[in-house]
Structure 1
Amino acid sequence: MNKNNIVLVGFMGTGKSTVGKALAERLNWTFVDVDREIEAVEGKSIPVLFREKGEEYFRQSEQEQIARVMQGSRQIVSMGGGAVLREANRRAMAASGLVVALTASASTILERVKNDPDRPLLAGNPEQKIAQLLKERKNAYQFADIHINTDELQVTEVVEAILSFPSG
């Protein structure tokens, strides 16, 4: 495997897709959103997959798509927020990419995702769910090579921070 990919991990609403698209454009690399890859293979949206087949089924499909995607190169790969929960996924990411963890405060995350109907893990009380999931995943992103808090940064500033990281 190679390390010719940049992998964006982090909780939902931290900016993975937005930053990923901008970074891919800047480098002229391919942008890959693992959640969109899962939806294409499964023929269903993530919320429908969760509802019809459950989180475990989704996580297995996610693991298969991550293994496939990480074999490519010159990609900016945006991972789903929970992709880091499985050791196999973390190994695949670290083996073939510079892993960048994007972080944000609970209030920033809530502001960014509160009107998004495609967040099955936030059903019910989003504020409470975000706090609970952030606590549960507190150490899940530790394996990343870089950690960037996106609370106060513009997309271009996050892209510059990633590009300024010494490679190799």
Structure 2
Amino acid sequence: MSEFQQSVTNGEQTSSFVLKKTVVMVGMMGAGKTAVGRMLAQLLDVPFLDSDQEIESAANMSVPEIFARDGEPFFRARETEVISRLLTGAPCVLSTGGGAFLSAVNQKAIAANGVAVWLDADLELLWSRVRHRDTRPLLRTADPKATLTSLFAQRVPEYSKADVRVSCAPPVPLDRMADRVAQELLLRPDVLETANA
């Protein structure tokens, strides 16, 4: 049982959760949106979806292949379509790509139908997580760290518009990060409530 589960357990009575809106994980590549999102979905006992995986499944291609063949604007248009569709389903935890929340259209759709949770990680932590991966099409440059630094500077002001900010510092295990997100969401009764079982 996680610390969060213990904190909402009342004596012998266990609590379950009622998620009222889809939780949309936003933030930089390497922030842990997919990994933390999966753990959060398990914790809340709701489905987990990943917009990049949904796009890959529909296109029968990987995100890097879509970028290479069709370009970023094409990918972003498909991303907006997928996010809009997923937001109309039952409440779940939805992980999005690092660029998804930069779109005003996506921000508006998320605000109307869900809650945006920004996993706020500092640049060094992000770099330590993405530096040895070749699955990030935007980092396929001569100086990937400089590219990441530039993306970070451009994107943080947009991420700061998210409804909920959860700091990734100091680095903590995934289950503890999921606990942190859940604790923040419980402060929003329009999003998440406990229901004693």
Q: TM-score, normalised by structure 2?
A: 0.81
What amino acid is the match of 1:162?
Answer: V
Superimposed CA distance per residue, residues 99-132 of structure 1 (whole angstroms, 9 cap, x where no aligned partner): 1100111111111011211100001222111100
Equivalent residues in 2 for 1:48-63, closer than 5 Å = 48-63=65-80
What amino acid is the match of 1:157?
Answer: R
Q: CA deviation at 1:28?
A: 1.1
- Tell me the SS of whatever aligns to 1:147: strand
RMSD: 1.4
> Which position in structure 2 is the counterpart of 1:37?
54
Query: Does structure 2 conserve the Cα–Cα contact (< 8 Å) formed by 1:110 and 1:126?
Result: no
Equivalent residues in 2 for 1:1-168, closer than 5 Å = 3-124=20-141, 125-152=143-170, 153-165=172-184, 166-167=187-188, 168=190
What amino acid is the match of 1:134?
Answer: F
Superimposed CA distance per residue, residues 46-75 of structure 1 (whole angstroms, 9 cap, x where no aligned partner): 001101100000000101001101111221
How many percent identity over aligned positions?
Answer: 34
Separation in structure 2 between the aligned mates of residue 117 and residue 151 of structure 1, nearest angstrom: 25
Q: CA deviation at 1:148?
A: 1.4
Separation in structure 2 between the aligned mates of residue 133 and residue 3 of structure 1, nearest angstrom: 32
- Tell me the SS of whatever aligns to 1:151: coil
The worse-fitting range, judged by mean Cα deviation, of 150-159 and 140-149 is: 150-159
The gaps in structure 1 that reach 5 residues or longer are none
- Tell me the SS of whatever aligns to 1:90: helix
What amino acid is the match of 2:24?
Answer: V
Separation in structure 2 between the aligned mates of residue 113 and residue 46 of structure 1, nearest angstrom: 16
Runs of 4+ in 1 over 2 A off after TM superposition: none
Query: Does structure 1 conserve the Cα–Cα contact (< 8 Å) formed by 2:56 and 2:62?
Result: yes
Separation in structure 2 between the aligned mates of residue 77 and residue 30 of structure 1, nearest angstrom: 9
Separation in structure 2 between the aligned mates of residue 158 and residue 137 of structure 1, nearest angstrom: 21
The worse-fitting range, judged by mean Cα deviation, of 111-120 and 157-166 is: 157-166
